[in-house]
Amino acid sequence: MIPEFGTSTHAIAGFGEDPKPFEQSVAEVAECGYSHLLLLCSEAGPPVDSDGRAPSSFVNLLKSDIDGLNRRVASHGLRISAVYPGFGLFELSPEGIAITVEKLKPYRELAWQLGTHTMIHPAGTSEDPKGAHVNKKPHIESLAEIMDSIASDKPGEIFKMAADIHYGSSLQTLEDIRYFLDIAKVTNTGLCLNMGHMTTAKQEGWTLIEDYPDRVHVLAWKDHIPSEDPAHPVVSIELGKGITPFKKYIEVLDRTEVDAISLITFEDVPVPEKKEALKRSRDHMVGLMLKA
């Protein structure tokens, strides 16, 4: 079964370049054949106004006109499938955890107003992200506590928190991730299974789908290639041009029932080429799934 694919505001708009207006990004995502959108937020960004417009695609959700945003997205036949506030743990301490939780609460309320019950949260870096699993435990435990405080399994209040697995983060290896899932107390505290970062980290990420099907909340279909620059170890490109073993993930998903959002994203594609690359990436994934 082919899922409804969505993409993200950063996949269509890029990072740190000339800002692309929010309304333009929404229109282009629809033109590429996608069904939904992950909204990356920035408190330094502009708010979306009552007409659903903003001069940048990285918007300040806290100050946005939610009705205007919803109307703009719906006018293109799209929906917001998840929000990504974009900040992690402020400090590795009880006080830092409490601050982070309080800052996330308004985003949960706004996510509900946007019609979604999913938030993606960065796994964050530890003092030794590439080192031994034991060195990351305090960071992983803090992450689980934060996400358990926002996620909910209660009927009528369902809310999913998906930790964004990244190379170089507290959640990099299968061991890291399994420990996180095993200590998290809320079922809806789970994963954004970033296949590209799993590839860069040389981890068999598809095994997590088999072992924790009810904890995979977001499937991030990303294609990575090896980097020749140690200072930039992650290279995320158009899907079908990298080495991510998508077929292994598809094989597992064909025999495993999951309730997950499917997102196609990338970073290292020039902004003028992003729209066509997103079209081709979606076509590539649909083709792979039809052949499975």
pLDDT tens by residue, 14-35 = 876 668 999 999 999 999 999 9
**pTM: predicted TM-score of the whole model, two decimal places:** 0.95
111 pLDDT band, cuts 50/70/90, is: very high
88 pLDDT band, cuts 50/70/90, is: confident
On the question of pLDDT at 131 being above 60, the answer is no
DSSP assignment string, the chain: ----EEEEHHHHH-SSSSPPPHHHHHHHHHHTT--EEEEEB-TTSPPP-TTS--SSSSB-GGGS-HHHHHHHHHHTT-EEEEEE-----S-SSHHHHHHHHHHHHHHHHHHHHTT--EEEEE----SSTTS-HHHHHHHHHHHHHHHHHH-B-STT--BEEEEE--TTSSS-SHHHHHHHHHH--STTEEEEEEHHHHHHTT--THHHHHH-GGGEEEEEE-EEE--S-TTS--EEE-TTSS---HHHHHHHHHHS----EEEE--SSS-HHHHHHHHHHHHHHHHHHHHH-
pLDDT tens by residue, 213-230 = 999 999 999 999 999 898
- The pLDDT of 34-61, averaged and rounded, is 97
On the question of pLDDT at 68 being above 60, the answer is yes
pLDDT at position 292 is 81
Q: Which domains does the chain have, with CATH numbers?
A: 5-291 (3.20.20.150)
- The pLDDT of 209-214, averaged and rounded, is 98
